[in-house]
Structure formats: C-alpha cells, structure tokens
Structure 1
C-alpha cells in the first residue's frame, strides 16, 4: 500500500524529535506534523530557557544540559523508535544526545537530520559570547538572518533576548572543547568495551542553505561524514541560514524520503551498540 504522496506505507509510527536553533523555539516546527507522511509523529524537545520554557534558566555547560535533555528525550519517546532533527545549534544538541544515549546503553535513533551547521569537528573554539558587546551579538544575528531588522533595532526586544542568546552562543562556541573531552573519554575506556569509538552508527542527512555564510565551506559541511560509520548525505537548498522556512516544502520532502529510507521496521529493531546499562 502507498500513501498519498506515492511512498510505501509503513505499519509502525516513527517519532521525529525536533530541536531548534540558538535563541529559537520549537515553534519553528509548528506545521511539520501536518506536512509529514502519516507514519511520522513529530514531537518537540524545547531547551530550558526557550519558548514555553522561557522562565527556566538556560544552561551554559554541555554536561548539565545533555543530562537533563537525555532524560526528557527518553520520556518523550517512551521506548518507541525515533529519529532526531536539529536546526543549527539544535544539530549540536542532537549529536550530544546520541552520544549520551549510547553511553547509557539506550536505543539509538534510526536517523539524524543535521541542519544549517558545519561539522562540529570544524567549528572554531570561542569563549567570548557570555561577555561580548551587545553590538557584536546583534551584528551576528543580522548576518545570519531570520530575525526581522525592526526587532534587532528594538532595544526592549534585544534586552529580553540577550541572556538566552549569550548562553546559546557560548554553548556553540565551547562545543569543540566538549567534543575533545568526549573523545579523550572514549580513548580511556577499559579494554574490551565495544563503545570505544567517537563515531556513531546512525545515518545522517545534512541540510544546508546555498546562501548561508555560516556553511559556505563545503569541506566543512562534508566533514559530517566523519561523525558516523553509517551513510551520510548532504542536501542543498535555496536560501540562507533559515532556508528551513523559505524552502520548507523541499526540506520536508527530503526529510520524508530520508525517514522512509532509514526508518524501516527491520532497522528499527537494531539494538544500540554501546556499553550495557
């Protein structure tokens, strides 16, 4: 049997967990459920300090953030097969969640969609975002696009958003140091443990805007393939950093095809390769 878009139907639903960009909210995905194939259930994982969780203090350290989100992710999927999709900073968070789940001996996602960011191994280490000037932060936001100019000119809006933006940009900036520490931890695991590689097994599809200056270097984008032993494909779309909005139909079509390809029931049954809980 096939669905209305001509793709084969699958008997079991697949949960797609979505994570948003720095300073953003999972409202970015508000209409994804209605546009994805019937076998996909879109669910949102909002970071502390963002969106409806704005009253909660944001994290500025990776271990504490991922420890909390890993618990929330497991509760969200409830043992069902799932996939992850992250836009910009959300891609880094999703990557860390996969490593955290593997270290816990939990089920791995069947697929990971990394959007609007270069390979984490190619990112620059930056430590200044918590204390940088307001003008530098605004200049960065203007370059990336996605935030209306009138909002960036609104002092009240900027004051409201600055704490969460500082926290998020800081996390992105120090991520290279975090992955270096994780790699050291893998290298020091006791002999005989199967979970001794910094590489994942999950298939990855990378989504990039052709006009996004943050991902202009194709070698930095292609380096995502070094994060997994599974297949990795790169998809280019018209638009800048927020092509996920401007090229939404094309993005959703690519996501749907990837989920169909990698979300088959036989693949979903595969246990995670990792340290036993």
Structure 2
C-alpha cells in the first residue's frame, strides 16, 4: 500500500508555503500542502465568493489525487473549517473519507465566532486586529504595495472563515479527530472540549505551548503526534472501540 497522504490547508492569509518546512520532517507521510486561489502559484485566480465555492474547489483538488490511497486532513484556523466542511461534502456525495482529521487553532464548529465582523473593520482597525492576532510582523504593514494585495485577500479569508460553522445543527463526523490548541490562545474550555460532539469516534485534544500561530514553532511535536496517530490508524476499527470519545490533554 502507498504512503498515507496528508492534505494540509492554510490559515487565513496563508498559502501552501507555510507547510513546506513540514515536508522534510513528514517521514513516511506524503504531505500535500494545498494551495488556495489568490495566492502562491494561484495568485492570478479570483478569490472565493463564499464557503461553497471554496469547498467545491478543494473537493476537486482532493478527489483528483486520491484513488485507493488512505488520506487524512490537517487544517489550522481557517484550514480547520476547510477540512471540516470538505469532509462533510465528501460524505454527502458518497466519496472516500479521510481516515483521520487533524484540526488546529479553531473552536468547535457549533461555537459562535467571537470576531465575526473582523473583515468589515476599516483599515486601521483591521491592521490592529491583525497585529493582536500575531503571525504578521509589524514591518509588513510598511509596504503599501504588499498591502494593496494582502488586505483584500485577508479580508476575504476572514469573511470565509467567520461566516461558516456556527448557527446550524451538529453533524458528527465518521472519522477519528485530533485537535491542537496553543496554550496562550483565548479559547474557553467549552470551545475546545466541544470538538467531542463532532465525531462519533475518538477525539484527542493536545494543548501545546504558544499563541495562535503555535504550529510554526511546535512543528516537530505536532508532526510526531500526526505520524504516530496515522501509523496506528486502521480502516477496520471495531465499533465498540470508537463509540465513545477519548479526550487527552498534552502540555
């Protein structure tokens, strides 16, 4: 059997490039950083109008690259939304499902978004909000030519990320899930532990040191957990072993 594939979806404003460092440490996993429209090699493609267009694009991307392969999804922040919505879309259409979902830096889907209007802020307030989130160096905002491209992209990504998920019935996934959070992120226990409601199988929770962008400096630890998890994943779990979520916290 071929190596397991891990499709990696970026956070708002990010591109496939954020996962390039991961590839060298992926071991026996075939890491597939997924590029979204409007950035990287797809920079000339129009931005997504809504979440449905985004998921449809990712649907085409994934189904074209998996035949009999076992695969999993990883997403950070907005990328978690993409992985979650894409898994539901695959299930609705009777497609092969990921053997595992890894969600990172995102509250449970049924929780309300605390910053639902971030993309509507005027430029100065939007800039301050981005600086508070971290991940974007202050020096970056000193280049107007970058801002001319980066602001519309970020605003569109936040619109997508903040208008999905909540205000709808919970649809539990048919996959085991692993969820990562940074120890300094501003999430309630309910927002983190609520992920248990979104799978009929097992749920593991790992809290790693860092802020919202902990994935950059916790890459070795995260990949260790991901590799170990995928090595243990089997397609023929006994129902009795997966009926009840098993949540563990690692600091």
Aligned counterpart in structure 1 of residue 15 of structure 2, from 19, 25, 41: 25
Shift, 1:62, TM fit: 1.3
Bigger mean CA deviation after superposition, 219-228 or 127-136? 127-136
Aligned counterpart in structure 1 of residue 66 of structure 2, from 64, 77, 81: 77
Q: Deviations over 1:39-62 (max 9, x none)?
A: x11112211112221111111311
Aligned counterpart in structure 1 of residue 156 of structure 2, from 161, 167, 178: 167
Shift, 1:144, TM fit: 1.5
Within-5 A mapping of 1:222-241? 222-241=193-212
Within-5 A mapping of 1:2-17? 12-17=2-7
Given that 2:179 and 2:203 are in contact with CA atoms closer than 8 Å, whether structure 1 keeps it comes out as: yes
SS of structure 2 residue aligned to 1:175: coil
Aligned counterpart in structure 2 of residue 243 of structure 1, from 200, 209, 214: 214
What residue ranges of structure 2 are gaps of 5+ in the alignment? 238-251
Given that 2:99 and 2:235 are in contact with CA atoms closer than 8 Å, whether structure 1 keeps it comes out as: no
Distance 1:145 1:230 in 2: 33
Shift, 1:92, TM fit: 0.2
1:91–1:13 Cα change, 3 Å: same
Within-5 A mapping of 1:254-269? 254-262=225-233, 264=234, 266=236
Shift, 1:155, TM fit: 2.9
TM-score, scaled to structure 1: 0.80
What residue ranges of structure 1 are gaps of 5+ in the alignment? 1-10, 184-196, 268-277
Aligned counterpart in structure 1 of residue 183 of structure 2, from 210, 226, 242: 210
Given that 1:125 and 1:174 are in contact with CA atoms closer than 8 Å, whether structure 2 keeps it comes out as: no
- The runs of at least 4 aligned residues of structure 1 exceeding 4 Å deviation read none
Q: Which residue of 1 aligns with 2:242?
A: none
1:55–1:129 Cα change, 3 Å: farther
Q: Which residue of 2 aligns with 1:86?
A: 75
Given that 1:125 and 1:175 are in contact with CA atoms closer than 8 Å, whether structure 2 keeps it comes out as: no
Shift, 1:204, TM fit: 0.6
Distance 2:39 2:65 in 1: 17
Given that 2:6 and 2:32 are in contact with CA atoms closer than 8 Å, whether structure 1 keeps it comes out as: yes
Q: Which residue of 1 aligns with 2:241?
A: none
Q: Which residue of 2 aligns with 1:42?
A: 31
Q: Deviations over 1:85-117 (max 9, x none)?
A: 001100000100000000110011000100111
SS of structure 1 residue aligned to 2:200: coil
Aligned counterpart in structure 1 of residue 125 of structure 2, from 128, 133, 136: 136
TM-score, scaled to structure 2: 0.88
Name the structure where helix makes up a greater proportion of residues: 1
| Equivalences, count | 237
SS of structure 1 residue aligned to 2:207: strand
SS of structure 2 residue aligned to 1:21: coil
Distance 1:212 1:201 in 2: 28
The reply to whether residue 121 of structure 1 matches residue 110 of structure 2 is: yes
